[in-house]
Structure 1
Amino acid sequence: MKAILGAHGLWNVVETRYEEPANEGALSVAELAALQKRRSGDQSALSIIHQGLDDEMFEKIANESKAKDAWDILKISVVGVDKVKKVRLQTLRAEFESLLIEKNESILDYFTRVLVVVNQMKRLGEKLTDVRVA
């Protein structure tokens, strides 16, 4: 999702929070234009985030109106706290080390299973070399 937001030039919108002004009437024309651009970018980013979620994850952020707030909730939900992350990584390491091709399993199916585990490990911060994977 980070790549999609970056490709649309919206990753900076997700990284930084903005506050709505207390009195829009006191803003200059340039400030109003900048605020409108920021709101539009924020809503575009939020829309992209919504499109990339399944129903369960969407429910967690359905009431959020800003992309930064939704992203922060998703980060906590997906990655979790460090302790949960470490336990999950240990489980994945054990699974990776014990991966064997099943009898009657195609090479493609086996390779797909390996890639799924490797990608999950990388998302959690594990550094894997191609040599280790092969």
Structure 2
Amino acid sequence: MATHNNNIPTHLPIFEDKNFDQWIVKMKVIFRFQDVLEVVNEGIPALAANATDVQQAAHKELQKKDGKALFLMHQSLKKVRLQALRRQYEVLTMEEEEFVSQYFDKVINLTNQMTRNGETVTDVMKVEKVLRTLTSRFDHIVVALEESKDLDSMKIEELQASLEAHELRLIDRNRERGKSVSSDQALQAQYEKREKFKKGKKSWNNQSHKDGEGSSKNQEKNDAKFDQKKKDKKDIQSYNCQKIFNILIC
């Protein structure tokens, strides 16, 4: 069993939901090896008010053993926490609608927790993690950084500043593109409105022309009828005059 200089084991059993019985057995072995199993099982008896110096010394020794047992328990459970944090770190990726600052906050917060639980996380590890897990809109800047920068010496703050500057350019470009699209849409709507007006005007002119032709034809018919009536009337008058003239001369 590997130990530190103060005889604390470097590799403690990891507690998981499904291995509680095995974990207890392994921890008892460690407690026995560290000479703290008795205090774990029985606790520390209360010290009498009139305790002798020997009893006080023995009580103080029990307190040390109790603290050592608690430390071993804490370290074992700390490794469980660290394993959970490692899994979160492995699956952490940037979301599509997430800003650079928001993603860096997640990475920094998670790595700080890992550090508090005994993990060593360097800037190089953080930089590599971020570059691997950015969204596709940062592909170009990632390639540029990998080709032009020494990633082994890059600080995480320097990487964040570069990515935020690139993100700002993307936002400005998309804003200008949005204005251009809005302008194009307005021009398209204006063009369609003008074309619709032209078609409507043309249709109205055609209909007016047809109506005019119809009116002209109707007028011609009416004029022809009127002329026919005048002719018929004239013929009747001529016939009557002729008839009267024949009677007079007979």
Q: TM-score category by the smaller chain? A: 0.3 to 0.5
- TM-score calculated relative to the size of structure 2: 0.22
- TM-score calculated relative to the size of structure 1: 0.39
More relative contact order in 1 or in 2 (CA 8 Å, sep 6+)? Answer: 1
Structure whose alpha-carbon radius of gyration is higher: 2
